[in-house]
């Protein structure tokens, strides 16, 4: 999916962090989402709500049953992508991706991308013992001093230095670790 979140505003709510965000597809705003942090579902407002409705297919997250219903074109496109995703198996239970889960992933991945981008400008970011660590850069990453730090990390057995990875690979690894 080429979905991203922009205009993200976070706040503390009754049950953790909430947010307001704009969801974009290939850079074009398609929806506004709100997680009010009160434990309920994410609210989605599709920006093409004035367009004629189309028939889309919604898959139930636990049973996988498909139901046809009228929805906006952007909503139908999003559901088609969700319906193509595989079932998620968590060991003790399995479910199909839902709008809530995927919208939350889009927003949180966009937050993580912004954080990681900022960190990579000022720090060496790496994984050691299944945790993310940083070393603050005093000089640019290309400097001899910073490169010496990277060589020491590699000598100590550090395999993943985010500064040397493709950004999408580093982001996926960081996000999967709960960054």
Note whether residue 105 is domain-resident: no
Residue 103 is assigned to a structural domain of this protein: no
Under the banding of pLDDT at 50, 70 and 90, the label for residue 25 is very high
Span 39-58, pLDDT tens digits: 889 999 999 999 999 999 99
Classify residue 27: in a domain, yes or no.
no
- Model confidence at 125, pLDDT cuts 50, 70, 90, reads very high
Of 64, 97, 130, the residue that ends a domain is 97
Residue 61 within any structural domain of the chain: yes
68 within some domain: yes
Give me the number of domains the chain comprises. 2
- Specify if 106 maps to a domain: no
Question: Is residue 69 pLDDT above 80, yes or no?
Answer: yes
Residue at which a domain ends, from 97, 128, 155: 97
Strands 94-95 and 88-89, how do they pair?
antiparallel
Within 8 A by CB and 6+ apart from 91, the residues are: none
In a domain, 15, yes or no: no
* Predicted local distance difference test score (pLDDT) of residue 120: 93
Q: In terms of domains, do 122 and 88 share one?
A: no
Got the DSSP string for the chain?
--EEEEEEEEEEETTEEEEEEEEEETTEEEEEEEE-SSSSPPEEEETTTTSPPEEEEEE-TTT--EEEEEE-HHHHHHHHHHHHSPPEE-SS-EE---HHHHHHHHHHHHHHHHHHHHHHHHEEEEEETTEEEEEE-SS-TTSHHHHHHHHHHHHTT--EEGGGS-HHHHHHHHHHTT-
Q: Is the pLDDT of residue 26 over 70?
A: yes
Structural domain of 126: 118-176
Q: Which of 32, 65, 97 is the last residue in one of the domains?
A: 97
Name the band, by pLDDT with cuts 50, 70 and 90, for residue 124.
very high
Share of the chain above pLDDT 70, in %: 99
Q: Which residues are CB-neighbours of 145 under 8 A, at least 6 positions away? A: 138, 139
- Give me the residues paired with residue 133 across strands: 126
Kindly state whether residues 132 and 163 are assigned to the same domain. Answer: yes
Please check whether residues 123 and 158 belong to one and the same domain: yes
Contact assessment for residue 34 and residue 99, using Cβ atoms and an 8 Å cutoff: no
When pLDDT is averaged across residues 6-30 and rounded to a whole number, the result is: 95
Query: Is pLDDT above 80 for 1?
Result: no
* Average pLDDT rounded to a whole number, residues 162-174: 93
Same domain for 90 and 133, yes or no, is: no
Give the list of residues 6+ apart from residue 99 with CB closer than 8 angstroms, or none: 42, 44, 78, 79, 82
Q: What is the mean pLDDT of the chain?
A: 92
| pTM (two decimals) | 0.86
110 within a domain of the structure (yes/no):
no
**Within this chain, do residues 76 and 124 fall inside the same structural domain, yes or no?**
no
């Amino acid at each position: 999916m080429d979905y991203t979140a922009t205009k993200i505003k976070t706040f503390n709510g009754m049950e953790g962090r909430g947010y307001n965000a704009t969801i974009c597809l290939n850079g074009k705003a398609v929806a506004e989402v709100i997680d009010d942090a009160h434990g309920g579902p994410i609210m989605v407002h599709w920006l093409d709500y004035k367009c004629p409705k189309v028939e889309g297919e919604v898959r139930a997250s636990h049973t996988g049953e498909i139901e046809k219903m009228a929805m906006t074109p952007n909503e139908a496109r999003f559901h088609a992508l969700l319906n193509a995703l595989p079932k998620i198996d968590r060991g003790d239970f399995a479910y199909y991706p839902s709008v809530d889960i995927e919208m939350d992933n889009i927003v949180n991945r966009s937050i993580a991308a912004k954080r990681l981008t900022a960190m990579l400008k000022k720090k060496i970011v790496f994984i050691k013992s299944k945790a993310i660590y940083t070393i603050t850069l005093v000089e640019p990453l290309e400097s001899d001093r910073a490169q010496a730090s990277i060589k020491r990390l590699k000598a100590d057995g550090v395999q993943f230095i985010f500064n040397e990875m493709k950004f999408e690979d580093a982001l996926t690894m960081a996000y999967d670790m709960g960054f």
